[in-house]
Amino acid sequence: MAEKFVSERNLRFLLYEVFDITSLLQYPYYAEHTPEVFDMILETALKIGRDMLYPHLEEMDKTPPEFVDGKVKVHPVVRIFMKECGQGGWISAMAPMEIGGQQLPNMIGLVPGFIFGAANYSASVYPGLTTGAAHLINSFGKKELIETYVPKMFAGEWQGTMALTEPQAGSSLADITTSAEPTDQGYYKIKGQKIFISASEHDGVENVIQLLLAKIKGSPPGLKGISLFVVPNKRINENGELVPNDVNVTGIYHKLGYKGCPINQLSLGENDDCRGYLVGQPNKGLAYMFQMMNEARIGVGIGATAIASAAYYAALEYAKERPQGRRLTSKDPTLPQISIIEHADVKRMLLFQRAIIEGSLSLLLQCSKYSDLEIVLEGEEKEKYSLLLDLLTPVAKSYPSEMGILSVSQALQCLGGYGYCDEFPLEQYYRDVRIHPIHEGTTGIHGLTLLGRGIIRKNGKAFQLYLENVQEVIRRAENDPELKPYGLELKDALKRLQEVTSHLIDVATKEGPDLFLADATLYLEFFGIIAIAWQWLLQALSVQKALKNKDGLSEADANFYQGKMYAFRYFFGYELPKIEGLAKRLTNGDGLTVEMKADLFSD
Amino acid sequence: MAEKFVSERNLRFLLYEVFDITSLLQYPYYAEHTPEVFDMILETALKIGRDMLYPHLEEMDKTPPEFVDGKVKVHPVVRIFMKECGQGGWISAMAPMEIGGQQLPNMIGLVPGFIFGAANYSASVYPGLTTGAAHLINSFGKKELIETYVPKMFAGEWQGTMALTEPQAGSSLADITTSAEPTDQGYYKIKGQKIFISASEHDGVENVIQLLLAKIKGSPPGLKGISLFVVPNKRINENGELVPNDVNVTGIYHKLGYKGCPINQLSLGENDDCRGYLVGQPNKGLAYMFQMMNEARIGVGIGATAIASAAYYAALEYAKERPQGRRLTSKDPTLPQISIIEHADVKRMLLFQRAIIEGSLSLLLQCSKYSDLEIVLEGEEKEKYSLLLDLLTPVAKSYPSEMGILSVSQALQCLGGYGYCDEFPLEQYYRDVRIHPIHEGTTGIHGLTLLGRGIIRKNGKAFQLYLENVQEVIRRAENDPELKPYGLELKDALKRLQEVTSHLIDVATKEGPDLFLADATLYLEFFGIIAIAWQWLLQALSVQKALKNKDGLSEADANFYQGKMYAFRYFFGYELPKIEGLAKRLTNGDGLTVEMKADLFSD
């Protein structure tokens, strides 16, 4: 195992230098915190990641959860970790103090998620889901519901989940059929099947609380008739005891990776005795659920980036230690071999990974900052950050997910044959990271969300705000002689983005949604590359600021900033040009994929 | 399991319509064959693939070879299949008749490799390696060596391997240390360690014959001192019995995929009793081994394409059967759901796979045709095809290997969550296919081979010949009104290829090899996309020819040709534009990866 799985230095750089997290302390909501608190969170999370999670990474993969007699047995560290997450306040970190939270900014809240995810992605999902589920109950549930469930979830004693998917309803939630029948006892009787539900039953906690979508009998068809319920696996009876709530695990999935966390099939109400508690108003469930889904989407972006980070440091360690070959200019076989990190192509593979990982992490922190500002601001400013977050969420989910796969694949490639073998962790990372373009909405769905909703929403208001944000960074770069050429490149790229977007909106008007959205996935990729270039330019501005005071820098810091500049240049040199081909396609759409008939795939 | 794993129709199209395999029958060397023979080979291979190999695909993955008491136990079907490959003449198919072969063209020889690889890649490797090893002995070995080993290998009783890699010598073969000490008995005493040797010991055959690189004591350092040996795991004693030859398995690798074939560590001569038999002249071993390596590289391209083909048909079957969602223009939730193949984004994912698979297969057949012509022609014509094959081999190995990963990943994505679970075979294909950019030379090595050797070799003669071949296809397309625009696009692309290549050769002259080759991997990708576009245009020409006689076509054929045109248009619309970004980078190389110091990766 490599010694390192994340860069603490880079986290500090992003938090303090790029996104200036301390600026949030001016708002009363965050005023009780100090930079020391943030530092402590960072350090403690690193310690937990290193000591509690990372040592079990391989073991949790090799001995996945077992499903025996209706029970799901998970690795014993899950219980220990959930307890730690409860006692250490990791689950409640970002919740308001009034309900027992710590009211920490999302920016710092992202850090443990990232560190835990890099140390052991499967383990990190248990508290991550619980956090999202508790927030959801808190946002829309009645007082009684909050009081019954949230403290236990914050304490890490009860697991939270999101229970959406059904056999006939994956991407198409309009088609769920799980039913909820009102009773005069204040609860609903739930009946149905859910599939692909992460952590929906396991022995690492006392109880599992499903945040579940169902249709109240008689509700309108489709998305407009979906309601949100709290469905505990065990409910509290009159005596305050936990008793079974007729939620039964009917199967467990055997997966490519992400094996440390069980994904189950559930049957609810087999014995007509499954009670669900309505959250908020009937038929508004999907709108509520979007809060948890959007949180989870950022979480997926973080998870993908985290796995890629761990893979990168494993590849880096190997590249430094493995001697192989000689310089192209001195092939004398009697000379000793050089470390493979000396080969340009290996450095290229490593820089590719850094460009993806550090660019993605920056975008995720940017989104978290929008989220933090949305909480404390009012009126137009609040709306601004809400719109920006909404626009960028599919990008912050999908770019790290898709590029994370390629990043881990390059990490594996750095090790050659060893990368393919299980004596190194790369093959596991390669399997683990593949989940991300699938769960919490496939990449295809996010393409539709970005182009078909985000861009055109409110007459393009979010898109305009986004352009302004990027333009502001370009302006700053134009004032820096070293960064000016990159600023101009991003300016060009942004112009391309506007042209492509206008073109597509034109298509929408003239040709309708089929042609408009045919290449939405490519648009998402195109948009994502430019968004990451923006984040890299933002980082480069902070680097230049730090380098102005060159003499005061330690050698480690000087190396860090210089390394950053190389990764930045890599992104602009190797990744940003990919928009050329995408722009060409997106402005030359010929409806190929719309017009082709399914029969023509026969042979 | 999907019913289909390859398209027989497409194989026939490529063999007969695009590459006109029957035109080879004019040469005396191939004159004994007939189209009926080719048909029979195709049909028999399909039957073996379907009945013997495909049913064991999952099983061989789930129960990988075991290493117990120095022995390697493989799945029982390996023995049955090797026997079939011997008796059916699959191993000897392309060898000259004078040594018991059938003198079949490589073009048809590729077909069983592709079909077996698609049915069960791990199984296909056993006879594939044996073929290459037998060819190598036949090409360079003495009569006695040929007579002792080749018939047994052709019969599928003895396994052939290639034993190159050592712990300190992977990509850098100059550093092998396995030694060969001459004796006065006509053999050499071999001593050393080999790692990552596929099929180098197993119980599916009576004996394994390593084609092994070693250094004769006192030979020059580096590549110039490498010799090739036949090292049997069991040698024949005076009584004609097989006795152990001091070749010991010391370990077996646990791999991400490709689990049905063991990859072993070997220790040779632990007891000073390992005999090796020199092939050809001393110190010429690497030059000889290149024959087998190049054959194996084409084999890897075929294997990658084959796995991608199987994944595609699994995804296609699912896409046709899985109902999910509704048309963008009719979201009424009371209407039944449509099959996901009706969604443009799913069709895009399927077309991407076809574009990669059918384009790759075409390039591989093109290479096989060069190989077939090289055998029967003389003088300048012979050299021409030899140069073309040599130039394109790294492309035909790497393009399918790299793009095969993405193709399988898209296939997996078509199934959403099910793609990630082992109840469908996609997750296995995803693991299996990842080996290809690693074995038989990593992609990085092939970038260096293409740019640093192939392109500049003989003053660019191979490159010129290649350009002429592509130009000829462009000229033909320009005469077809429907294909003319695509011909012009390829013409542009070819111009870009020439510009980029000239630019890089200029860099080589002015700046030396470090900068010249820094982005050789990107050049390989860039070159590969254009090569596949050429192959697609070649296919489109054959489609247009067939469509001229539209009325005579069956519905199935009409659908096939129309589907082809969509896949062709997809490649030109979505894939070819990727050269834009690559060309930009390749002509703007700033030496980033050459100049960056290893220290700057620290954080």
For residues A584 and B336, is the Cβ–Cβ distance under 8 A? no
Output the six-digit token pair for A182. 């009102």
For residues B146 and B279, give the distance between their C-alpha atoms in angstroms, rounded to a whole number: 10
Q: Which residue in B391, B171, B182, B403 sits closest to B305, CA to CA? A: B403
Give the other-Cβ count within 10 Å of B584's Cβ. Answer: 17
Establish if A557 belongs to a structural domain: yes
- pLDDT at residue B1, as a whole number: 76
A556/B416 Cβ within 8 A: no
Q: Could you give phi then psi for residue B197, rounded to 5 degrees?
A: -100, 110
Above pLDDT 90, what percent of chain A? Answer: 98
For residues B317 and B4, is the Cβ–Cβ distance under 8 A? yes
Residues 6 or more apart in contact with residue A68 via CB below 8 angstroms? none
| Mean pLDDT (whole number) for B589-603 | 93
Nearest CA in chain A to B172: A325
Cβ–Cβ contact A215 with B under 8 A: no
Cβ–Cβ contact A177 with B under 8 A: no
Give how far B471 is from chain A: nearest CA, Å: 23
Start-to-end CA distance of chain A, whole Å, equals 46
- pLDDT at residue A550, as a whole number: 80
For residues A404 and A434, give the distance between their C-alpha atoms in angstroms, rounded to a whole number: 8
Tell me the per-residue pLDDT of B149-197, one tens digit each, with 9 for 90 and over: 999 999 999 999 999 999 999 999 999 999 999 999 999 999 999 999 9
Please list every residue in chain A whose beta carbon sits closer than 8 Å to the beta carbon of residue B4. Answer: none
Range B386-424 burial, b when 16+ CB lie within 10 A, else e? bbbbbbbbbbbbbbbbbbbbbbbbbbbbbbbbbbbbbeb
Establish if A529 belongs to a structural domain: yes
A344/B603 Cβ within 8 A: no
Please list every residue in chain A whose beta carbon sits closer than 8 Å to the beta carbon of residue B514. Answer: 327-329, 344
Q: Measured between CB atoms, which of B221, B585, B590 is closest to A577?
A: B585
Tell me the per-residue pLDDT of A271-295, one tens digit each, with 9 for 90 and over: 999 999 999 999 999 999 999 999 9
Establish if A542 belongs to a structural domain: yes
For residues A528 and A398, give the distance between their C-alpha atoms in angstroms, rounded to a whole number: 8
Cβ–Cβ contact B439 with A under 8 A: yes
Cβ–Cβ contact B177 with A under 8 A: no
pLDDT at A2 over 90: no
| Mean pLDDT (whole number) for A74-102 | 97
- pLDDT at residue A551, as a whole number: 85
A603/B417 Cβ within 8 A: no
A566/B600 Cβ within 8 A: yes
Largest Cα separation within chain A, whole Å, is: 87
Helices and strands in chain B: count of H runs, count of E runs: 19, 12
Structural domain including A578 reads 449-590
Give the other-Cβ count within 10 Å of A179's Cβ. Answer: 18
Catalytic residue chosen out of the listed positions B295, B440, B489, B575:
B440
pLDDT at A197 over 90: yes
For residues B279 and B230, is the Cβ–Cβ distance under 8 A? yes
A601/B416 Cβ within 8 A: no
Establish if B304 belongs to a structural domain: no
* Residues 35 through 64 of chain B touching chain A, CB cutoff 8 Å: none
Q: Measured between CB atoms, which of A7, A337, A592 is closest to B573?
A: A592
Largest Cα separation within chain B, whole Å, is: 87
Cβ–Cβ contact B582 with A under 8 A: yes
Please list every residue in chain A whose beta carbon sits closer than 8 Å to the beta carbon of residue B286. Answer: none
Q: Measured between CB atoms, which of A195, A344, A593 is closest to B347?
A: A593
Output the six-digit token pair for A53. 């999670």
For residues A355 and A571, is the Cβ–Cβ distance under 8 A? yes
| Mean pLDDT (whole number) for A443-453 | 98
Cβ–Cβ contact B330 with A under 8 A: no
DSSP state of A421: B
Question: Which of B253, B574, B575 to substitute to test the interface with A, most A CBs within 10 Å?
Answer: B574
Establish if A398 belongs to a structural domain: no
CA A161 vs CA A106, A262, A439, B417, B602: distances in Å: 20, 12, 13, 17, 38
For residues B240 and B253, give the distance between their C-alpha atoms in angstroms, rounded to a whole number: 33
Q: How many domains does chain A have?
A: 1
For residues A63 and A81, give the distance between their C-alpha atoms in angstroms, rounded to a whole number: 17
pLDDT at A325 over 90: yes
Please list every residue in chain B whose beta carbon sits closer than 8 Å to the beta carbon of residue A358. Answer: none
By residue count, chain B amounts to: 603
pLDDT at A84 over 90: yes
Beta bridge partners of A73: A66
Beta bridge partners of B214: B227
Give how far B377 is from chain A: nearest CA, Å: 35
Output the six-digit token pair for A433. 């990271």
pLDDT category of residue B371 using cuts at 50, 70 and 90? very high
Nearest CA in chain B to A11: B603
pLDDT at A603 over 90: no
Cβ–Cβ contact B301 with A under 8 A: no
Give the other-Cβ count within 10 Å of B245's Cβ. Answer: 23
pLDDT at B603 over 90: no
Give how far B319 is from chain A: nearest CA, Å: 10
| Mean pLDDT (whole number) for A314-336 | 94
Establish if A455 belongs to a structural domain: yes
Tell me whether residue B29 is exposed, middle or buried, using C-beta atoms within 10 angstroms of its C-beta: 0 to 12, 13 to 18, 19 or more: middle
Tell me the per-residue pLDDT of B235-245, one tens digit each, with 9 for 90 and over: 999 999 999 99
Q: Measured between CB atoms, which of A347, A520, A578 is closest to B581?
A: A578
How many CB pairs below 8 A link A and B?
297
CA B492 vs CA B428, B455, B474: distances in Å: 39, 19, 10
B421/A256 Cβ within 8 A: yes
pLDDT category of residue A62 using cuts at 50, 70 and 90? very high
B256/A320 Cβ within 8 A: no
Output the six-digit token pair for A46. 């690193």
Output the six-digit token pair for A441. 């909405």
Above pLDDT 70, what percent of chain A? Answer: 100
Cβ–Cβ contact B577 with A under 8 A: yes
Cβ–Cβ contact B560 with A under 8 A: yes
For chain B, how big is the Rg over CA atoms in Å? 24
- pLDDT at residue B10, as a whole number: 98
For residues A33 and A100, is the Cβ–Cβ distance under 8 A? no
For residues A52 and B69, give the distance between their C-alpha atoms in angstroms, rounded to a whole number: 37
B580/A573 Cβ within 8 A: no
Tell me the per-residue pLDDT of A499-558, one tens digit each, with 9 for 90 and over: 999 999 999 999 999 999 999 999 999 999 999 999 999 999 999 999 998 888 999 999
Above pLDDT 70, what percent of chain B? Answer: 100
For residues B92 and B105, give the distance between their C-alpha atoms in angstroms, rounded to a whole number: 12
A579/B345 Cβ within 8 A: no
Catalytic residue chosen out of the listed positions A295, A427, A440, A489:
A440
Residues 6 or more apart in contact with residue B34 via CB below 8 angstroms? B25
Q: Measured between CB atoms, which of B573, B582, B594 is closest to A344?
A: B594
pLDDT at A102 over 90: yes
| Mean pLDDT (whole number) for A105-110 | 97
* Residues 111 through 170 of chain B touching chain A, CB cutoff 8 Å: 165, 168-170
Establish if A506 belongs to a structural domain: yes
For residues B211 and B289, is the Cβ–Cβ distance under 8 A? yes
pLDDT at A13 over 80: yes
- pLDDT at residue B330, as a whole number: 83
Residues 6 or more apart in contact with residue B101 via CB below 8 angstroms? B92, B93, B94, B95, B154
Helix, strand or coil for residue B362? helix
- pLDDT at residue A1, as a whole number: 76
For residues B347 and A400, give the distance between their C-alpha atoms in angstroms, rounded to a whole number: 24
Helix, strand or coil for residue A366? helix
Cβ–Cβ contact B519 with A under 8 A: yes
For residues B386 and B374, is the Cβ–Cβ distance under 8 A? yes
Catalytic site includes residue B378: no
CA B8 vs CA A372, B42, B45, B350, B400: distances in Å: 58, 8, 11, 18, 19
Establish if B248 belongs to a structural domain: no
DSSP state of A337: P
Tell me the per-residue pLDDT of B96-114, one tens digit each, with 9 for 90 and over: 999 999 999 999 999 999 9
Cβ–Cβ contact B584 with A under 8 A: yes
For residues B393 and B396, give the distance between their C-alpha atoms in angstroms, rounded to a whole number: 5
The number of angstroms, rounded, from the C-alpha of B530 to the middle of its chain's C-alpha atoms is 19
CA B66 vs CA A567, B249, B252, B255: distances in Å: 44, 12, 8, 13
| Mean pLDDT (whole number) for A581-598 | 96
Tell me the per-residue pLDDT of A363-386, one tens digit each, with 9 for 90 and over: 999 999 999 999 999 999 999 999
Output the six-digit token pair for B559. 């659908």
- pLDDT at residue A57, as a whole number: 98
Start-to-end CA distance of chain B, whole Å, equals 46
Cβ–Cβ contact B3 with A under 8 A: no
- pLDDT at residue B2, as a whole number: 85
How much is the mean pLDDT over chain A?
Answer: 97
For residues A130 and A112, give the distance between their C-alpha atoms in angstroms, rounded to a whole number: 14
